[in-house]
Structure 1
Amino acid sequence: MQIPKNKYEVVIIGGGPIGIACALEAEKKGLSYVILEKGCLVNSLYHYPTNMTFFSTSEKLELDNIPFISNNPKPGKREALEYYRRIVTSNDINIHLFEKVNSVETNPDQTHTVKTTKGEYIAENVIVATGFYDIPNYLGIPGEELPKVSHYYNDPHYYATQKTIVVGASNSAVDAALEIYRKGGDVTMIVRKPEIGERVKYWVRPDIINRIKEGSIKAHFNSSLKEIREHEVVVQTPEGEEVLENDFVLLLTGYRPNFGFLQDIGIKLSDDGRKIPEYHEETMETNIPGIFLAGVICGGVETHKWFIENSRVHAKMIMDYLHQKTKVS
């Protein structure tokens, strides 16, 4: 019997490092698969800041023991793009780019119909490896929709000589503040907590603390952005409201997985505020038979819990289970 063209044993949603890792394991197990990615290859990584340096060393980012050689112990964005691109092209990974998954429906025979912007697929199993970088944590304040506001940061040159507000105190906010300052930007940080976040990269944290201490970068701690106007912002500080002249606002307040997509599939989320999806810790299978999770999406709102280095094992766990299940059946 001829297998339909769009029928696979595994459909992988998400073409990031973990989705690629799942594809490599599927190939080793002889399982038919396809990756569906809504953007370019490793789309989230592509949209990281131009000068980003990973927290992890290169060997921690390796997939399937394929060596990742970088100029420095901690590679940058361009090196990572090259590494994952080489893996995909050298291994002839079956990946469909710029094809967004709109829905996943479970059929009476326990297969799944995956509907995309370009077609439909029938899958015996589905792996959701979509990460968390697509949806920013919005503040919900007046003026957040203004053109001068962005929830993503790319290159510091754009902000040279401009008055830029950076909201947040995590790695992305700190990197942006330091880079813009060093390109001649006038930077003010708005930090909700009393100090720079403890999770900031250990070689960067002393730098930002010293730049704030010497006054090169201004910072308002225990403060929040109250309103964004065309040429100024209103900041709520412990001493009261302050109005600051402003050209650009970077709201680097973190990102979250697409919980609505998970719920539409039928995956249960914890109701304790953390929104952790329900899955089996040994097989990564969710409450829906044949639908699995892999990567950072497993952490719910706790996006600091899973990284490439500690979630790449999900791929092997899933494929070992599917291979065993196939042998039994």
Structure 2
Amino acid sequence: MTKETILTEKDIIIIGGGPIGIACALECKKRNWNYVVIEKGTLANSLFNYPKNMTFFSTSEKLEIDNIPFISNNPKPNRDEALEYYRRVTTSNNLNINLYETVININKTAQTFQVKTSKRQYTAKHVIICTGFYDIPKLLNVAGENLNKVTHYYKEAHNYTLQDVVVVGASNSAVDAALEIWRKGGRVTMVVRGENIGERVKYWVRPDIINRIEEGSIKAYFNSEIKEITPNSVTVKTPKGLVTLLNDYVIALTGYLPDFNLLKNSGITMTDDEKQIPIYNNDTMESNIENLYLAGVICGGKETHKWFIENSRIHAKRIAKHIETKLNLSN
């Protein structure tokens, strides 16, 4: 029998190996439940894809899971410190995590779930989805978006030195990218749909970007949007009309979306408004499908700013408590 055809039986399958998935795994391990975490990328894949110099808004103690201390050099840890912390939590607790394995579908039968992945098939009594939202970018939907010069992710600034770079967006990631590229010698222009830099931008960074724009070091077009991207230019619709800019790179940091297809195909009901918030019980985190739970940022649908590590760590304990109650009642 090949590895791909092996049927693996588990009590609980946790989909997503980020901080909340790790927190769920810790709760399972405490109770000696037969569980596995399935992650399509590396451990804490979303954090790994953050910019290399990214600093968290939260302090280190607010990123801790299960009261395991997170010691950082500064009150607000950076990306590498967070990766080290969650890696240490995982390895020191010997958590059962399968990496680089993608969930294809989740089907509910009478008593169990059938979970098919890129490597094998599982059966499980309970499933927890905590896949985050960083894997599917919100597209600009303009001509030229598929050019190699366009990216929806930003890692570091060095390769943009002496280049004409358009940064789309006004969130934390867009502001960080614009400032870092400018400081590394890139010529930066920001294109922002709103009338100003986002209010949720980190309070110690927001004055910096506003000052750079006001002094002219970084150009910015507000109430504007990209209409077309060509190999050598970008056309921007502004309040004063169309503007064409010479351009080498476009970094479109306009946000990301949860994997709604996975949720919908699993039978989870979503609100019928633009927010597309999945239906779940806030006390137990159980969705409208019995024994199928949601945890972390995915609970907010398109409102990806609603849930984050700091305020969704508790989801793991709520889920474990509810499953434990069910198991006690069945015994």
TM-score, length-normalised on structure 1? Answer: 0.98
**What is aligned with 1:262?**
263
Q: Which moved more, 1:181-190 or 1:28-37?
A: 28-37
Q: Which residue of 2 aligns with 1:180?
A: 181
Percent identity of the aligned residues? 62
Q: Any stretches of 5+ residues in structure 1 without a counterpart?
A: none
2:221 is the alignment partner of 1:223: no
Report the alpha carbon displacement of residue 29 of structure 1 after superposing the two structures with TM.
2.1
Deviations 1:175-230 (A, max 9, x none): 00000000000000001111000000000000000000000100001111110011
| Structure 1 letter corresponding to 2:103 | V
Instruction: List per-residue Cα deviations over 1:150-198 (Å, max 9, x = no partner).
Output: 0000010010110000000000000000000000000000011110000
| Cα-to-partner distance string for 1:126-170 (whole Å, 9 max, x where unaligned) | 000000000000011000000000000001001011000000000
Taking the aligned partners of 2:70 and 2:42, their CA distance within structure 1 comes to 21
* Deviant stretches of 4+, over 3 Å: none
Corresponding letter in the other structure for 2:40? K
Q: Which residue of the partner structure matches residue 246 of structure 2?
A: 245
Partner letter of residue 237 of structure 1?
A: T
1:51 maps to 2:53: yes
Distance in 1, matches of 2:299 and 2:30, equals: 24
Match for residue 82 of structure 1?
Answer: 84
Structure 2 unpaired stretches of 5+: 1-5
In the alignment, what sits opposite 2:69? 67
8 Å contact kept, 2:7–2:123: no
Counterparts in 2 of 1:152-171, with a 5 A limit?
Answer: 152-171=153-172
Quote the offset at 1:5 in angstroms: 7.3
Which deviations, in whole Å up to 9, do the C-alpha atoms of 1:229-250 show, x marking residues without a partner? 1100101111100110000000
Relative to 1, partners in 2 of residues 1:5 and 1:242: Cα closer, same or farther, differing over 3 Å? closer
Q: What does residue 281 of structure 1 align with?
A: 282
Amino acid at match of 1:130: T
Matches of 1:224 and 1:139, distance apart in 2: 9
Aligned residues of 2:295 and 2:315 also touching (Cα < 8 A): yes
CA distance in 2, matches of 1:184, 1:242: 23
Counterpart of 1:132 in structure 2 is 133
2:7 and 2:268 map into 1 onto residues whose CA distance is 28
Q: Return the alpha-carbon distance in structure 2 between the equivalents of residues 57 and 41 of structure 1.
A: 21
Q: What TM-score, normalized by structure 2, do the two folds share?
A: 0.97
**1:301 deviation in Å?**
0.2
CA distance in 1, matches of 2:69, 2:161: 38
Q: How many residues get paired?
A: 325
